[in-house]
A and B are shown apart, each in its own frame.
Chain A
Amino acid sequence: MTLVLKDLTKRSGAEMHLHETSVRFAPEGFNVLLGETNAGKTTLIKLIAALDRPTTGEIWLNHKNLTPLPTQKRQVSLVHQFFVNYPHLTVFENIASPLRVGGVVGPEVEKRVKQAADLLRLGPYLKRRPGELSGGQQQRTALARALVKDSDIVLLDEPLANLDYKLREELREELPRLLSDRGSIVLYATSEPSEALLLGGHTATISAGRVTQFGETAELYRNPQDLETARVFSDPPINTAKVTKSGDRIALRNLASWNAAGEIASAPDGDYIVAVRPHYVSPRRMTEGDVSISGQVLITELSGSESIAHFEMGVAAGSGHSASAAADTDVWVSQSHGVHPYNVGEAHEFFLDVSGCLYFTPDGRRVNG
């Protein structure tokens, strides 16, 4: 089964909700739509479900043009971020509703509802109404309703975002199991990079109404082809800074410099942007080649297993805060294992592992060796 978007755009008034998008989604595993709130994930999902009309472009499923078909004629399932169930129907009738509308009758309905309910462990609650269930159970009901019918496309719009931490973990582990071997294309929208990595499959990064890149999730994380993809696919936010290459040296303003290696080595001299994931910036020297950068610690977050520090680059130890440099400073983030003692407001020395550096041209394209 293949789902293809051809030059799809969505404009509403002067606002561009989705810029020209062409994607061929993977037939197996998850297709994760990763992007911040308002990036255009829900717009894309609504277009695929025909809850909204595209301005231009087409949607094709198995060499069949879906574009003119209304929602009811596309075999889709949809789970919203908010728990949406029919409040006046029991859980059983909620799950049975797509079957009943689809013309399934008799014991077949009962059999399939029971099957879906068992998968989502809703067995004991079938007689209750959604209002009498916890948030997790309500979302399970919505998922069961989405899974009970044989849909070609399953759309999950941040289905776990409104659940508490424990339930989210639990359902996230179950989801791939529930959706495998169904032969349907699964689109999963999320704003959390870690969720995309956990679900695996393929990922499309979306930013400001544009699909910046589509590919295997792990590959996309390792090799973003442009700066926007790298930005979207990083949590805590990826560190960026302007660097200058001259000869075989890379200089980060006058703060640090290191030898050009890998992809950047064969690129011509000039200005570039370096992007470094926070875990390559450590408060301790990890390898011989680490480059030292000092900065003033602004905010720290300790979670026990890791320490995160936001620091303002270029404020050297002992010099205090210099107002003149403020216009040209960057705030970087360091993420390290264990608990590291930081004193907020004081200068600290950080170490950059240059092997983790990704280089981009000033207009945001990846430098490929």
Chain B
Amino acid sequence: MTRYARFVPAIYILFLLLPIYWLFSMSFKTTNEILGGFTLFPQQFTLENYRTIFTDPSWYWGYINSILYVTINTVISICAALPAAYAFSRYRFAGDKHLFFWLLTNRMAPPAVFALPFFQLYSAVGLFDTHIAVALAHCLFNIPLAVWILEGFMSGVPRELDETAYVDGYSFPRFFFKIFVPNITSGIGVAAFFCFMFSWVEMLLAKTLTAVDAKPIVATMTKTASSAGYELGLLAAAGCLTIIPGAIVIYFVRNYIAKGFALGRV
């Protein structure tokens, strides 16, 4: 029995990877082959799907738009969350615990609830169909998340470190950037990763708040379904490419995420 026990995780991993393999394999097939029947490997290997994505501006701009607003969102979220998390971790003020909890409750409502008010508001102030509009809308979810994660990491830094720095003569800003931030880089990495991921996979708000100029890749992908039928090969290729940015980011923060789990904040 124990001889075969090691195969259990192997089978599990195989099972998890199967859909990804299927997607990957489909991206090299023609739509006809996909619809034609069950094939384990591409019979007529083609790079046509990828060629379409990399040459058609309406496709590759989808990626560029997504990367733009995701990056803007991550930067805004971290910049706003750093001082907020510092305040929550270092000071006691009236209603601090309630405020902290209230921030988290923003994550509990489905994005659809906020889609209409955001649409109305951004249309009124002329932000509709801009990258910043999506980036700001995603802050609603990502800033609370980043505050929550960073607060955990910051509370792991002893208050005595702050005091020692002040005694050494550091002013607050100098202490914060020269001493404090370098000591929570792993926390910033983890928070940035989660902001990136949530913003990257979020579709509803991104789609509602954009039309042409800032259309994200998730919205672009819906155009594979048309009156002429489905372009499944193209959709699969686009799907494969959307995995890549997340994979790259997670590669850099993989060690920190374990630390985040240990702090109970991820």
Contact = CB atoms under 8 A, between A and B. Distances in A.
A98 B168 contact: yes
A320 interface: no
Contact of B158 (A82, A102, A149): A82
Interface in A52-94: 70-72, 76-78, 80, 82, 84-88
B166 A71 contact: yes
B163 A97 contact: no
Interface stretch (B37-45, B59-67, B169-177, B192-200): B169-177
B56 interface: no
Given A84-B158, A84-B161, A78 B183 contact: no
Nearest to A72: B169
Contact of A49 (B165, B167, B170, B174): B167
Interface string A32-61: 000000000000001001010000000000
Contacts of A105: none
Contacts of B264: none
A98 B161 CA distance: 14
Given A49-B167, A72-B169, A101-B170, A88 B182 contact: yes
A173 B19 CA distance: 69
B169 A101 contact: yes
A101 B167 CA distance: 11
B168 A145 contact: yes
A144 to B, nearest CB: 12
Nearest to A73: B169
A326 B222 CA distance: 87
Nearest to A51: B163
B179 interface: yes
Interface residues of B, number: 16
Contacts of A76: 167
B161 A86 contact: yes
Contact of B164 (A70, A80, A88, A149): A80
Given A86-B179, A87-B183, A98-B168, A49 B163 contact: yes
A46 B160 CA distance: 11
B167 A78 contact: yes
A13 to B, nearest CB: 11
A98 B163 contact: no
A336 B169 CA distance: 50
B44 to A, nearest CB: 55
Interface in B143-168: 158, 160-161, 163-168
A167 to B, nearest CB: 20
Contacts of B171: 72
A78 B170 contact: no
Contacts of A142: 164
Contacts of A87: 183
**Across chains A and B, which 4 residue pairs bring their CB atoms closest together, nearest first?**
A101-B169, A71-B166, A98-B168, A88-B182
16 contacts: A46-B163, A49-B163, A51-B163, A71-B166, A72-B166, A78-B163, A78-B167, A80-B160, A82-B160, A84-B158, A85-B164, A86-B161, A86-B165, A101-B170, A142-B164, A145-B164
Interface of B: 158, 160-161, 163-171, 174, 179, 182-183
Given A84-B161, A86-B183, A102-B169, 6 more contacts: A71-B166, A71-B167, A76-B167, A87-B183, A101-B169, A101-B170
